[in-house]
Amino acid sequence: MQTDRATGYLSTLAGKVQFALGDEAIAYGALFAGCTFFGGYPITPASEVAETMARELPNVDGYYVQFEDEIGSIAAVIGASRAGAKSMTATSGPGFSLMQENIGYAIMTETPCVVVDVQRSGPSTGQATKPAQADVLQARWGTHGDHEMIAFAPNSVQECLDVMIECFNLSERYRHPVVLLADGEIGHLREKLVFPDPADLDLFPRGGFDAADEAGLVEPMRAYGEGNAVHITGSTHKENGMRDVVSQDVHERLITRCCAKIDKNRDNIIRVEERFMDDAETVVVSFGADSRPALGAVVRARNEGVKVGYFRPISIWPFCGERLTQIGKRVRKILVPEMNLGQLAREIERFVSVPVVRVSKIGGVAHSVEEVYQAIIENSRS
Amino acid sequence: MEHHLLKYLREEILPTTHCPGCGCGQVLNAFVNAIDTLRIDPRGIISVTGIGCSSWIPSPYFKGDTLHTTHGRAIAFATGVKVIRPDSNVVVIAGDGDLAGIGGNHLIHAARRNVGLTVYLVNNYIYGMTGGQVSPTTPFGVVTSTTPYTNAEYPLKIAELVAAAGANYVARWTTYHIRKLIASMEEALQTKGFAFIEIVSQCPVAYGRRVGLRDGVAFMEYFKENSVSVRKSKTMSEEELEGKIVVGRLARRERVEFTESLRKIIEEQRTGTGA
Amino acid sequence: MIIIDERYCKGCSICIHFCPGKALEVSKEVNSRGFYAPKVVDQAECTSCKQCELYCPDFAIFIVEDAESADG
Ligand SMILES: Cc1ncc(C[n+]2csc(CCOP(=O)(O)OP(=O)(O)O)c2C)c(N)n1
Ligand code: SF4
Ligand code: SF4
């Protein structure tokens, strides 16, 4: 996939340390993952992803195109992916909403692509320049119809790069769109970033399906432009790709397989971080930007002898519900600091029977360590 | 004995789903004729379509790569394809509702970028697939299922708009002008840069019956009677042109094709000759 | 020689309309798919202009040169 020139260029970056923005790290993650097509439309706080890609893609024999809107961007990304390029776009809530129909198209046609949503405060233009974490459910259910979703939420600049590579790998492996659910806080955070050595990376190549899908639910993808007369449609289709929108069984078979390929591979996709869990009586579950003050608060409370644990979903979808069910059997309470009105908390409630306490904060500001610490103390008194 | 052009089609799924006398089939016929004359390998053609009866012209019938996308977005999908596969002939075929209505903005900007797509917009004056609702090209005063008291809007001159946006090739023909249409489709396929033909076509079922044109034959006669050449149109006043279909070539330019410019940027970065 | 492929004909009569001679007319009976297909009245009227072939929306009518068709 990557040309020699691209690998050569990325090798010159290996080991280099930069003081970089989360958005820039996202872009570099894509480049290291082998992305050669970016279609996008400017929006705060995601524009720096586009700007970095516009500058760097020509160095890896890749293409940047700014479209007339986000609908065109995601459409071109899917087209480029079908034509053989690992492809992506980056946006924020308003643009992410516009993309939803074609995200469904990517699901239905099993076309890999990565969509970055650097979340900002909404609905609508809301607080356009302020971060939020309120697209958790839009990422999961934004497009219509039955489907699964893969989404990851990084909480550091380094993780933006690392997780982006994983997003591309999963997207290629399962032939499914993958969402990087970043947030304005992380996207605009400047922190240390170490570039990997391309030689150390395990990249999932196009068509590399030999041992890929343990459940045998993903077929190799036939590219366009290679003389195969490939027919692709977003309508319900049979195994040979031909449309059949009337047979109940054809639709059921297609959709259950598309869902199963994610669901049955949950263990291969889900990633979480757990700390101080062994004897925890209360556990703080938090993701993305808000997990940073959450961890700070847990550490402070621990230092004072409070038996509190820290649990961070790195993958948001598929959801780590089974693991939380196990945890829910041992703890008394789960606290969920998040920059929305309880979107993650609501999902957790489906898996545990202990109380799930919403520690929500909206308005464009992440929790402070003190705020989460106070919530821990209040909820740890019996 | 079989039709010599069937080799370009997925024969096992013929006949097409289009209604009897529908212009969509004539456009498909003209398209494969153009390809046959130019001796283009169909496997090097990637057809990208939107949603609507007209989008069913190449997809799934044409035996090359076919990408049936979402309503209005074919040109954007096709742009992604063309950037990655610049050597393929990337052809977009869709309706007036699709390309001029919901997808109008993609059309304008693809023409402005001059991306190397061949776009055949099939203008049947109506939303055919959904059963005859008003479209951006429906004439003023026509009754449709969503303009039950007559259409209060004016139709868009879509070919002129695309010409103004900067496309390298723009023409308009009708299904009546079948030989001219085929020749024009060939010119479009050979154009580097954005090539666009508005093909005025008939939908006898969802449009014709509302305007007293009951079948394909009636439409053929109507197109014949009401077409004027580009040259002649220049001598006519706006009032005289009312209700006329101006046919012929509307633009031809030699601007550099978009993906070529993109590749030049890469080349300049590689050789250190860029900005 | 005019050949009509009944499998695909939808009976729109466009071919008949455009025949400059009098080679084609509408069948009196419907074909297997329920359409009134064209029928050749007189092959000798055909000048191989291919109007019918070019106008047909359904690849259901075409002209073959006589030398070919003799054993075709
Ligand atoms: C986003 C979206 N909106 C609406 C539709 C419903 N729809 C299907 S086809 C169509 C219009 C087709 O008209 P046109 O593009 O002119 O093509 P025609 O059928 O006339 O050839 C519409 C509105 C859709 N499929 N997707
Ligand atoms: S509804 Fe109109 S456009 Fe659609 S297939 Fe029938 S005649 Fe053609
Ligand atoms: S034009 Fe074609 S489909 Fe129509 S009647 Fe003639 S042969 Fe049949």
User: For chain B, what percentages of helix, strand and coil (3-state, to nearest 5) are there?
Assistant: 40, 20, 40
Confidence check: pLDDT of A382 > 70: no
Does B204 contact ligand 2 (Cβ within 6 A)? yes
d(CA B88, CA B43): 9
Cα(B225) to ligand 2 centroid in Å equals 22
Shortest Cα–Cα distance, C14 to chain B (Å): 5
Contact B51, B93 (CB under 8 A): no
Mean pLDDT of A202-213: 72
B259 interaction partners in chain A (CB closer than 8 Å): 63
Q: Distance between CA B62 and CA B13 in Å, rounded?
A: 10
List of domains in chain B: 3-271 (3.40.50.970)
A208, pLDDT greater than 80: no
Query: Which atom of ligand 3 is the closest one to the Cα of C12?
Result: 4
Per-residue pLDDT band for A211 (boundaries 50, 70, 90) equals very low
Q: Please name the residue whose Cα sits nearest to atom 3 of ligand 1.
A: B71
Angstrom distance (rounded) from CA A18 to CA A26: 13
CA–CA dist C4, C26 (Å, integer): 12
**How far is B54 from B51, CA to CA, in rounded Å?**
8
Measured distance CA(B21)–CA(B26) in Å, rounded: 9
Whether ligand 2 lies within 6 angstroms of the CB of B53 is answered as yes
Q: What stretches in chain B show pLDDT beneath 70? A: 274-275
A100 and chain B in contact, CB less than 8 A: no
pLDDT at residue number A206: 82
Q: Residue B129: its pLDDT value, please?
A: 97
| C5: contact with B, CB 8 A cutoff | yes
Q: Which of A59, A109, A232, A243 to mutate to test the interface with B (most CBs of B within 10 A)?
A: A232
Q: How far apart are CA A197 and CA A195, in angstroms?
A: 7
User: CB distance A71–B87 less than 8 Å?
Assistant: no
At B131 the pLDDT is 96
Rg, Å, chain C Cα set? 11
Helix and strand totals (H; E) in chain C: 3, 4
Which pLDDT band, with edges at 50, 70 and 90, does A294 fall under? very high
Nearest ligand 2 atom, CA B19? 6
Ligand nearest B133 Cα, by number? 1
**Nearest residue to A170 via CA among A314, A269, A271, A34:** A269
Answer whether residue A381 shows pLDDT above 90: no
At A220 the pLDDT is 84
The band of A223, judged by pLDDT with boundaries at 50, 70 and 90, is confident
Residue A295 has pLDDT above 90, yes or no: yes
Contacts of B41 in chain A (CB under 8 A): 227
**What residues contact residue A23 under an 8 Å CB cut-off, 6+ apart?**
A45, A46, A47, A48, A49, A52, A90, A118, A160, A182, A187, A188
Rg (CA), chain B: 19
A85-115 burial: b if 16+ Cβ within 10 Å, else e: bbbbbbbbbbbbbbbbbbbbbbbbbbbbbbb
Q: If you average pLDDT over every residue of chain A, what do you get?
A: 96
Cα separation, B253 vs B261, whole angstroms? 16
pLDDT number for residue C67: 61
Residues in chain B: 275
Considering just the CA atoms, what is the radius of gyration of chain A in Å?
A: 21
Q: CA-to-CA distance for B72 and B68, rounded, in angstroms?
A: 11
Q: Whose CA is nearest to atom 5 of ligand 2?
A: B18
Neighbors of chain C by Cβ distance (3+ pairs < 8 Å) = B
Q: Which domains does chain C have, with CATH numbers?
A: 2-71 (3.30.70.20)
What secondary structure letter does DSSP report for A291? Answer: H
Q: Of chain C residues 24-63, which have a CB less than 8 A from chain B?
A: 35, 53-60, 62
**pLDDT interval class at C65 (50, 70, 90):** confident
Of A14, A273, C57, A251, the residue nearest B29 (C-alpha) = C57
Domains and CATH numbers, chain A: 4-200 (3.40.50.970), 273-381 (3.40.50.920)
Pocket test for ligand 2, best of B205, B217, B220 (most atoms within 8 A of CB): B205
Backbone phi and psi for residue A314, each to the nearest 5 degrees, phi listed first: -90, -40
| Interval between CA B249 and ligand 3 midpoint (Å) | 29
| Gap between the Cα atoms of B223 and A71, Å rounded | 36
CA A67/CA A320 separation, integer angstroms: 36
Contact B195, B189 (CB under 8 A): yes
Classify residue A296 by burial, with Cβ atoms within 10 Å: 0-12, 13-18, 19+.
middle
Whether B35 contacts B68, CB under 8 Å: no
Q: Distance, CA B260 to ligand 2 centroid (Å)?
A: 38
C-alpha distances in Å from residue C15, one per residue of B33, B59, B223, C57: 17, 25, 16, 9
Residue A112 preceded by cis peptide, ω within 30: no
Which residues from B are below 8 Å from C31, CB to CB?
none
Express each pLDDT in A133-142 by its tens digit.
999 999 999 9
Instruction: Please tell me if the CB atom of residue B206 comes closer than 6 angstroms to any atom of ligand 2.
Output: yes
Strand partners, A190: A21
Six-digit token pair at A379?
């909820």
Measured torsion, CA atoms of residues B161, B165, B166, B169, in degrees rounded to the nearest 10: -30
CA angle at B217 for the pair B213 and B219, rounded to the nearest 5°: 45
Displacement of CA A179 from its chain's centroid (Å): 4
A-contacting chains (≥3 CB pairs under 8 Å): B
| Cα–Cα distance measured from residue A4 to residue A13, given in angstroms and rounded to the nearest whole number | 15
Q: B43-83: per-residue pLDDT in tens?
A: 999 999 999 999 999 999 999 999 999 999 999 999 999 99
pLDDT at C44: 94
What backbone torsions phi and psi does residue A154 show, to the nearest 5 degrees?
Answer: -75, 155
* Reduced DSSP (H G I as helix, E B as strand, rest coil) percent helix, strand, coil of chain C, to 5: 25, 15, 60
Query: Inter-chain contact B269–A75, Cβ cutoff 8 Å?
Result: no
The pair of structure tokens assigned to B42 is 């169909």
In the predicted model, is pLDDT for residue C71 greater than 60? no
Residue B167 tokens, joined: 């496309």
CA dihedral B225, B227, B233, B237 (to 10 degrees): 50
Kindly determine whether residue A67 and residue B48, on different chains, have CB atoms separated by under 8 Å.
no
Is B109 within 8 Å of A67 when comparing Cβ atoms? yes
Asked if A165 and A195 touch (Cβ cutoff 8 Å), the reply is: no
B77 to A79: CB separation less than 8 angstroms, yes or no: yes
At position C46, the amino acid (one-letter code) is C
The span from the CA of A239 to the CA of A256, in Å, is: 13
Residues sharing a CB contact under 8 Å with residue A102, sequence separation 6 or more, in sequence order: A71, A74, A75, A78, B70, B73
Which residues in B lie closer than 8 A to residue A67 (C-beta atoms)?
A: 76, 79, 109
pTM: 0.97
One-letter amino acid at C15 equals C
Does position A228 have pLDDT exceeding 90, yes or no?
no
Residue nearest to atom 1 of ligand 2 (CA): B128
Burial class (CB in 10 A: 0-12, 13-18, 19+), A342: middle
Query: At A210, is the pLDDT very low, low, confident or very high (cuts 50, 70, 90)?
Result: low
Ligand 3 atom at shortest distance from the alpha carbon of C52: 1
Residues contacting A55, CB < 8 A, separation 6+: none
User: Which H/E stretch holds residue B48?
Assistant: strand B45-49
CA dihedral A315, A316, A320, A324 (to 10 degrees): 120
For residue B138, give the amino acid letter: T
- Whole-angstrom distance, CA of residue A374 vs CA of residue A355: 17
CA distance C25 to B90: 40
- DSSP, collapsed to helix, strand or coil, labels residue B20 as coil
Cβ contact (<8 Å) for C59 and B19? Answer: no
Residue among B16, B127, B158 whose CB has most ligand 1 atoms within 8 A, to mutate: B127
> At residue C6, does pLDDT exceed 80?
yes
Task: Provide the CA A130 distance to its chain's centre, in angstroms.
Answer: 20
* Nearest CA among A321, A318, A300, A319 for reference residue A310: A300
Structure tokens at B9: 């089609």
Say if residues A8 and A186 touch (Cβ distance below 8 Å): no
Residue A229, both tokens: 């007369």
Q: What is the mean pLDDT of residues C49-55?
A: 97
Q: Which residues pair with A127 in a beta bridge?
A: A121
Q: How far is the CA of B66 from the centre of ligand 1 (A)?
A: 18
Q: How many CB pairs under 8 A join A and B?
A: 136
Q: What pLDDT does C72 receive?
A: 42
In this structure, is the dihedral angle defined by the CA atoms of residues A43, A44, A46 and A49, taken in order, positive or negative? positive
Rounded to the nearest angstrom, the distance between the alpha carbon of B22 and the centre of ligand 3 is 11
> In terms of pLDDT, which residue wins out, B123 or A223?
B123
Ligand 1, atom 11: nearest CA belongs to which residue?
Answer: B127
Residue C3 CA: distances (Å) to CA of A257, B1, B31, B61, C46: 46, 8, 21, 22, 11
pLDDT exceeds 60 at position A45:
yes
| Coil, helix or strand at residue B35 | helix
